[in-house]
Amino acid sequence: MAKRRKYNNTAGRLLEIFDAAVEYRQPNHPTFMAWQTALKLEVTPTSGLTDEIYVKLLKRMLPLQVALTEIEEDIKEQRPNEEHLCLRYFPALWSTVIPRNLEAPWSQVGANFGTAQLYSLELCANSLPEDSEIKQEELAEIFKAVDELFTQVRKSQINSHLKKWLLELLGKIKHSIDQYWVLGPKAFKAALITMVGEIALHRRTAETIKDEDKGLFDSIGGVFVKLVDLASKVNGAAHLLEYMGPIADGLPKLLGMQ
């Protein structure tokens, strides 16, 4: 296979993953073996689909499905005249990331990674804008901040209802940012939208945080600021809070940003 140009967007990252799957040269092996190799899963060697492998694969394959959805939406919104050309073979690509096919022979599932199918994905990568670069230091900082905030909430003396809500919110945020490896900055955009939506929906609960634990309140505001900055690196996401409309009204003030 000729070496492709690298594209710094969701379609480009997904294309690299699919190219790695194509390189699996054991057509009679079950599909899960091809994916655990392409996705570089660390699992106990086995010839069968164990619960350990299945759970790890599900965790890694869900972002691939999210990525396909994001690419489809971006093409339809940003390149409507190219929709048919770019998305024509996406049904075949979708069939490769459906968990029910994991025990099917790789020769069956891998056949959907034909030249035309991968070329359609490359067309998407070439048609869509590239993401702004995020430095490794910035990535390390946000992951560390979320982990430390999770620990801070868990060890805090705030009331049990508030603690439960914050831990669930942080779990959702962590789930979103853990998909950075394929979604890029869009993972932080999803995390920010989750945070804004949850806090806006439970505004009265959120307003009690400052009174219960000022240090915790400041830490939450710090994570919010970092997510705004990282989410703004998605092309077309400048002034992201403004696009969220009324749901974000007053949130910066609530979190001590104004």
Q: Tell which residue, 116, 212, 119, has the closest CA to residue 160.
A: 212
Q: Tell which residue, 217, 221, 223, has the closest CA to residue 156.
A: 217
Taking the CB of residue 110, how many other CB atoms lie within 10 A of it?
20
How many whole angstroms separate alpha carbon 252 and alpha carbon 258? Answer: 6
Strand partners, 105: 30
Q: 105 phi and psi, to 5 degrees?
A: -60, 140
Which tokens hold the place of 94? 């979708």
Q: 17 phi and psi, to 5 degrees?
A: -65, -45
Average pLDDT of each block of 10 consecutive residues along the chain (258 residues)? Answer: 83 96 92 92 80 91 96 95 95 92 92 93 95 90 94 93 93 94 92 87 84 88 88 64 48 53
Q: How many CA atoms lie within 13 A of 149 on its CB side?
A: 24
Strand partners, 30: 105
Residue 30 DSSP class: B
How many whole angstroms separate alpha carbon 95 and alpha carbon 97? Answer: 6
pLDDT at residue 3, rounded to an integer: 75
pLDDT at residue 251, rounded to an integer: 54
For residues 180 and 127, the answer to whether their CB atoms sit within 8 Å is no
* CB neighbour list of residue 253: distance below 8 Å, 6 or more residues apart: none
pLDDT at residue 243, rounded to an integer: 47
How many whole angstroms separate alpha carbon 139 and alpha carbon 255? Answer: 22
pLDDT at residue 248, rounded to an integer: 46
For residues 1 and 22, the answer to whether their CB atoms sit within 8 Å is yes
pLDDT at residue 245, rounded to an integer: 45
pLDDT at residue 247, rounded to an integer: 43
